[in-house]
Amino acid sequence: MKFKWTLLAVLFTIVTSLTGCGKLAVLDPKGPQAQRQADDIMLSIGLMSAIVIIVFIILVFMLVKYRASKQADDYEPPHIEGSKVVESIVVGIPILIIIFLSVVSVRSNYIVEATPQGYEGQKPLVVYASSSNWKWHFSYPEENIETVNYLYIPTNRPLEFKLYSYGPITSFWIPQLGGQKYAMADMVNTLHLAADVPGEYMGRNANFSGKGFAENTFNVKAIPEAKFKEWIDEVKQTAKPLTKAKFDELLKPAHLGQLTFTGTHLDFLPPPEHGHHGSAGIETDTNTATDTITNTDKGSEHAHEGRH
């Protein structure tokens, strides 16, 4: 009886907790890369759920069929040899599942590392995304502007992010547009994304990088191409130029708001020369920052407030 009430309490807690959960960002894709990854996640969940259900059905069957019976104390069950069929199933099915998931994962990896499907042949928007403690710098070389801690992107156009870092290793991640990829100090990683749906999305550093890691986030706004060009024109008319002295100041460890500049730091501080177009491997030696966070509003120093 005690076990019964404990089980009911656990189930009630799980149900009531899940009812308050919103939709996971990774399962609410707004671009082809994220859609592919969400499909793989749901495929894995469905396959694992089927396995769990089958195992529980077999468990119940075995418990019922081979439960204790009222046999004599000296009863000895007949000797049963092992079944090659059962052993083949027990060993073979897990191997087939692993092979299947491996093939799906490898195919998906090649797909998400390439230009988004449906956008082949289109000219991508190139954005250099660099991180520093604890902020993100977005350089638009063709548009000749730069933003800090926020990103405007056009919808229905391929995006090509060039990732690197001015501090510890970070990981660039916009969950609703695609998977994460590392930004490192001595090389440039390329990440291909696209946004099919206008909207505001959350981006962040997904790799621990010191005390300010939790607030190392940025806002993403996807808008139609025409509005994106209007925003570019507005920035060029209203924002102040980015100087080397100002950029050196921005690199100091701090939390800042959203800033906008004309020109980019690529002119006086180019990115690392080494490039890598594959997926960045997992790093086991995570650098952490030792500098003290400067918690200051910096609101009065904003050259131009990004629109929300």
What residue spans define the domains of the chain?
A: 125-280+288-299
Share of the chain above pLDDT 90, in %: 67
Mean local confidence (pLDDT), 273-301? 40
Mean pLDDT, the chain, whole residue set: 85
Residue 80 is predicted with a pLDDT of 76
DSSP E strands in the chain: the ranges are 125-132, 135-140, 145-148, 150-154, 158-165, 170-173, 181-183, 188-194, 199-205, 217-223, 240-241, 259-262, 275-276
Residue 53 is predicted with a pLDDT of 96
Residue 46 is predicted with a pLDDT of 95
CB distance 218 to 170 below 8 Å: no
Q: pLDDT tens digits, residue range 113-169?
A: 999 999 999 999 999 999 999 999 999 999 999 999 999 999 999 999 999 999 999
Q: pLDDT tens digits, residue range 59-96?
A: 999 899 888 777 787 888 778 778 888 899 889 999 99
Q: pLDDT tens digits, residue range 182-228?
A: 999 999 999 999 999 999 999 999 999 888 888 899 999 999 999 99
Q: How far apart are CA 93 and CA 99, in angstroms?
A: 10
Q: How far apart are CA 216 and CA 135, in angstroms?
A: 6
> Within 10 A of 200 (CB to CB), how many other CB atoms are there?
12
CB distance 178 to 34 below 8 Å: yes
* Assigned fold of 125-280+288-299: Immunoglobulin-like (2.60.40)
Could you say which DSSP state residue 280 is in? P
Closest CA to 32 of 125, 156, 133, 141: 156
